Structure 1
Amino acid sequence: MTRWTTERAWDWYRGRPWIRGFNYVSSDCVNRIEMWQELDHDEKERTFERELALAGESGFNSLRIILPFEVWFQDRAGVMARFERFLTIADQHGLDTMVAFGNDCMVPKKFFREPVLGPQPVDWGYHGGIARSPHAVLDEPGYSLLDEPEMAALFVEMVDQVVGTYAKDRRVGIWDLFNEPGNGRRDSMSLPHMVRFFEVARSHDPIQPLTSGPWRVGVNGEPLAEIEQVAMDLSDVISFHDYTGYNNSIKVLEVLKRENRPLLNTEWLHRMQGNDVATHLPLYYLERVGCYNWGFVAGKSQTYEPWEAIWTRRANGQGDHYDFTKWQHDLFRPTLRPYDPNELDLFREYFTRADEQFRAGTW
């Protein structure tokens, strides 16, 4: 199997309403281990039901998750069963699921803690719920279990099993095979693993497109990092991350539109640095770019808090441009009331516009 043709990619994209989603970690989970392990999972599923119902009522039609190898490795049958139930819940509320696997957004090995199932510790007041996070200023490459050959082989088994099981299942919307390749100062360390993920996923001839996108796009002619360029070249649809302000985001789209493939921003919304609903949602609507903001209901993962690197820059006198009066991510408070009701009104307005145009055949 080979990469989709440009025509097939556009046929897939134009055959569905505007893709608008969010990155999801339930509010009662500090991390993905807590979200996908067996412990208290019945309680977690009640949270999924409550929060994904809210998402459907708000007009979203997709969500993005990173399925954790660390839990699958210790309980693969359990993870597969819980993933099936998750897909069912999401589908019942009109949401398909984008599934990510690999992840280069990691801490250095000196800060790495062996993943252990069971109660998960929470550091309160820190983005992501951990004090030593990938969002700090790193002084050496992050560590990944992919760096261990035995773990890397098992990771491929996970991709093979999950994609093989759901390659023809429309509840899965997109396979996002590797999150932020090259981040965490890893550069091309994960390149052979990412390529292998594409090979294995492609072997199942999925009805869903494959993608993995750059997390930094130069707007002044800078080339992509090697691993990011390979990710783009392998992707059926072009995904990317962009947390920058409006003017830079326009330039990012200008660069990526040269690929002549559908575009999906799979991480956006960083209010502190001018990446807002009021600016960027209309931009993505006008440019017909699918978009997944980071976060949904504020909770134990605390992604409304700033990245640790932002606090470091502020302490070093480099953070005057950050607006510390705003949440960084997330749309709803723990009460399920909106952080800013005006944002939700804007989401509904543009979702309705896009759906009307899709039904009229003008989208």
Structure 2
Amino acid sequence: MRKLLLIVLLVVTSLAWGQPDAPGRWSRSKANSWYRHQPWLFGPNYVPANAINQLEMFQPETFDPATIDKELGWAEAMGINTLRVFLHDLLWERDETAFKRNLDTFLAICDKHHIRPMLVLFDSCWDPFPKMGRQPDPKLGVHNSGWLQSPGAHALADEGEYRRLEAYVRGIVRAFRKDKRVLAWDIWNEPDNPNTGSYGRREAADKAERVARLLPQVFQWARSVKPIQPLTSGVWLAWESRDWVNPAAWKPIEKIQLENSDFISFHHYADVNAFEKMATSLQKLGRPVVCTEFLARSVNSRFQSHLPVAKKLNVGMMNWGFVAGKTQTFLPWDSWETPYTGGRNPSVWHHEILTPDGKPYLAEEVETIRRTTGKR
């Protein structure tokens, strides 16, 4: 009888919290204990101003520690304590030793400035055909014109490539699995993003289905080497008003993300009321919540409105972009349809905090950041 009551209690508890945990997932108590030991997390999605994408940031020919050190000095001065940084499987395939060495150097620079980054393993956004070597120059007037998917379309379509992808995930996580300079691992950025406004016509028709089959495997590959850091993958359809605590509302890839993530992460490019509604809904899942992308000034996603609410809720915040540079993400998304050329300029910057010389785009934003992070 007692055994039956225990089973019923476990089932009821599982239903109350959504879905049962995936194998190896941190318990809620472990995840919340980890989060209680963190400062209030704030920082940008970071790539140095002189890199157009993940490859240019880390490949030996263009890795630039001096620029990174300069820019992270600016970050430290305004209270930034974390970054979200994208890696790439091709860096591992080409030269895993050089990649680990450059990533270790990057982490040393972060540590010098009291910053602990979240490292992103895969990404479904932008160009589906990555290539090593010299990266393209920015397209005039176009937002994020050189950013790369990982894995690329060819690797995603060829299951014979999955052993290589597995070696990359296990290898890079194993190399830094006990490194306290690493905050967390973001398994896959926007895995079900169809890139409608950019490369949509060049995407495989079955991309989402392939990602849905691969994503849980990637979580398990990362978990298999027993990292001390937590894992996550962020839901991103923030403009859809949904009850996120209800598993029936989850789309297939969101279900994988929310059942496998040790802490919950999400993206939000909308006004503060919608942000607060989504954040508080996700908090009902009983795990720490971190917004790993926000800041789109033209749609009222701003520091002044969002940071005070996020800190009140104890939701960590990561905006897109830091120093305006080769990614050109200060330009809006619509620049893919109508590039900002011929003297045409956006009414406000879309992303980014600083101009190339380190000055604030808007001084009041940096004041808000410094005040919220306690750096005043």
Q: Give the TM-score of the pair, scaled to structure 1.
A: 0.85
Matching of residue 274 in structure 1 with residue 300 in structure 2: yes
Correspondence for 1:295 among 318, 321, 327: 321
Matching of residue 199 in structure 1 with residue 220 in structure 2: yes
Residue 208 of structure 2 corresponds to 187
Correspondence for 2:92 among 62, 72, 86: 72
Where in structure 2 are the equivalents of 1:1-363 lying within 5 Å? Answer: 2-41=24-63, 44-107=64-127, 112-130=128-146, 143=153, 145-184=155-194, 186-217=207-238, 218-221=240-243, 223-308=249-334, 311=337, 324-352=346-374
Q: Is the 8 A contact 2:130 2:148 kept in 1?
A: no
Q: CA deviation at 1:45?
A: 1.1
Distance 2:31 2:71 in 1: 31
Q: CA deviation at 1:119?
A: 4.6
| 171 and 327 in structure 1: CA distance in 2 versus 1, 3 angstrom threshold | same
Q: Secondary structure at the match of 1:164?
A: helix
RMSD of the alignment, in Å? Answer: 2.4
Distance 1:87 1:133 in 2: 22
Q: Is the 8 A contact 1:23 1:65 kept in 2?
A: yes
Q: Is the 8 A contact 1:32 1:67 kept in 2?
A: yes
Q: Give the TM-score of the pair, scaled to structure 2.
A: 0.83
| 167 and 215 in structure 1: CA distance in 2 versus 1, 3 angstrom threshold | same
**1:303-340 CA-partner distances (Å, limit 9, x unpaired):** 0001137756xxxxxxxxxx941100000000100101
Q: Is the 8 A contact 1:28 1:299 kept in 2?
A: yes
Q: CA deviation at 1:80?
A: 1.1
Q: Is the 8 A contact 2:41 2:316 kept in 1?
A: yes
Distance 1:194 1:59 in 2: 34
Aligned residues: 332
| 164 and 220 in structure 1: CA distance in 2 versus 1, 3 angstrom threshold | closer
Distance 1:336 1:114 in 2: 30
Q: Is the 8 A contact 1:106 1:143 kept in 2?
A: no
Q: CA deviation at 1:37?
A: 1.0
Distance 1:310 1:282 in 2: 32
Distance 1:158 1:133 in 2: 17
**Partner amino acid for 1:228?**
E
Distance 1:283 1:179 in 2: 24
| 307 and 15 in structure 1: CA distance in 2 versus 1, 3 angstrom threshold | same
Q: Is the 8 A contact 1:133 1:308 kept in 2?
A: no
**Partner amino acid for 2:166?**
V
**1:30-82 CA-partner distances (Å, limit 9, x unpaired):** 111111111133xx111001001111111111111110112222222211111
Q: Is the 8 A contact 1:188 1:226 kept in 2?
A: no
Q: CA deviation at 1:194?
A: 1.4
* Structure 1: stretches of 5+ with no match in the other structure: 135-141, 313-322, 356-363
Q: CA deviation at 1:220?
A: 3.7
Distance 1:250 1:311 in 2: 31
Q: CA deviation at 1:133?
A: 8.8
Q: CA deviation at 1:260?
A: 1.1
Q: CA deviation at 1:207?
A: 1.4
Q: CA deviation at 1:85?
A: 0.4
| 333 and 35 in structure 1: CA distance in 2 versus 1, 3 angstrom threshold | same
**1:229-252 CA-partner distances (Å, limit 9, x unpaired):** 111110110011111112211221
**Partner amino acid for 2:122?**
G
Between stretches 242-251 and 332-341, larger displacement belongs to: 242-251
Distance 1:270 1:51 in 2: 21
Q: Is the 8 A contact 1:272 1:324 kept in 2?
A: no
* Structure 2: stretches of 5+ with no match in the other structure: 1-22, 196-206, 339-344
Between stretches 159-168 and 183-192, larger displacement belongs to: 183-192
| 114 and 297 in structure 1: CA distance in 2 versus 1, 3 angstrom threshold | closer
Q: CA deviation at 1:205?
A: 2.0
Q: Secondary structure at the match of 2:93?
A: helix
Distance 2:148 2:58 in 1: 20
Q: Percent identity?
A: 32
Q: Is the 8 A contact 2:54 2:148 kept in 1?
A: no
**1:333-356 CA-partner distances (Å, limit 9, x unpaired):** 001001011111111111118x9x
